[in-house]
Amino acid sequence: MVDLEVLGKQERQGHRNTLISNHSVADVERMKRVLGDADLIVRINPLNPSTKDELEAVIGVGATHIMLPMFRSSHEACEVSELIASRAGFIPLVETRDAAQEIDEISLVRGVSEIYIGLNDLHVELGCRFMFEPLANGEVERMGKAAQAAGLEFGFGGIARIGEGLLPGELVLAEHVRLNSSCVILSRTFHRETFAVSDRHGETAFRAEVAKLRSCERRLRLRSATEVEQDRLRTVELVEAISVRAHY
């Protein structure tokens, strides 16, 4: 995934511990050369007067899927889908209150290939104190079901390494399995060795941590219905506790 989103992002997230990318269209072209036939998602800027030109540029150099951030209506999703014109998959990134409320309509927009729920901005718009509150209170489940009812796959949020994070990666992954989510964005912690030591060591650590996720996923898929519900309740309890601490 190449992230071109910059419009409004500093204002929304500059005061929080989030990553603001400095990727460019040239990075899309470089990534495509390395990836070959593999999918390449490009997150563009929110809909604006330059969207058509931005789409032409990234599709022209190999983007296979377009992710649209910070939109507020199915009409905006329709406009971008028409500009894409079936030349790439289309992934609406649902991260505003208005878009969340229109999830049924958005899921039916022609050209949409999957739905992704962005919890960083969405939880703020919903007045939550912790990123995973929309997961614990059923909002993510509601939207996921709407996407699936339209025949779409969906994903949500980010995930930390197994055993790490305020909400440990294994509990987040348990919810992905329970909700039949198909994708998740890995947190930057998966690459911390890359920034601290040699690239070779960083790649080895990355592969090892992803392998832990895969192993945990296989185990989670073998749970009984009772165990699935127990894990869900643990997640709700922990999210509520974190939210209370965040308030104080």
What single DSSP character describes residue 160?
P
Q: How far apart are CA 234 and CA 220, in angstroms?
A: 14
Note the pLDDT of residue 200.
65
Bigger pLDDT: 12 or 63? 63
β strands within the chain, DSSP E: 2-3, 41-43, 65-68, 89-94, 114-117, 153-159, 183-186
Dump pLDDT digits (tens) for 117-157.
Answer: 999 999 999 999 999 999 999 999 999 999 999 999 999 99
Q: What is the structure's pLDDT at 198?
A: 56
How far is Cα 198 from Cα 208, in angstroms, rounded to an integer? Answer: 16
Q: Do the beta carbons of residue 231 and residue 171 sit within 8 Å?
A: yes
pLDDT, residue 71, reads 98
d(CA 171, CA 184): 13
When pLDDT is cut at 50, 70 and 90, the band that residue 245 belongs to is confident
pLDDT at residue 188, rounded to an integer? 83
pLDDT value of position 7: 87
> Cβ(176)–Cβ(231) under 8 Å?
no
- Note the pLDDT of residue 192: 76
Instruction: Flag whether the pTM goes above 0.85.
Output: yes
User: What pLDDT does residue 9 have?
Assistant: 62
What pLDDT score was predicted for residue 227?
A: 98
CATH code, residues 1-112: 3.20.20.60
- 105 pLDDT exceeds 80? yes
3-state secondary structure of 15: coil
Radius of gyration from C-alpha coordinates of the chain: 18
Give the other-Cβ count within 10 Å of 221's Cβ.
Answer: 9
pLDDT in tens, 147-202: 999 999 999 999 999 999 999 999 999 999 999 999 999 988 888 766 555 566 66
Q: How much is the pLDDT for 203?
A: 81
Residue 13: is its pLDDT beyond 90?
A: no
State the average pLDDT over residues 2-30.
Answer: 75
Phi–psi pair at 222, nearest 5 degrees? -95, 0
Q: Is the pLDDT of residue 15 over 90?
A: no
3-state secondary structure (DSSP) of residue 64 = coil
Residue type, 175: E
Nearest to 162 by CA among 172, 149, 151, 152: 172
Q: Are 113 and 84 in contact (CB under 8 A)?
A: no
**What pLDDT, on the 0 to 100 scale, is given for residue 229?**
98
Contact predicate 130/242, CB 8 Å: yes
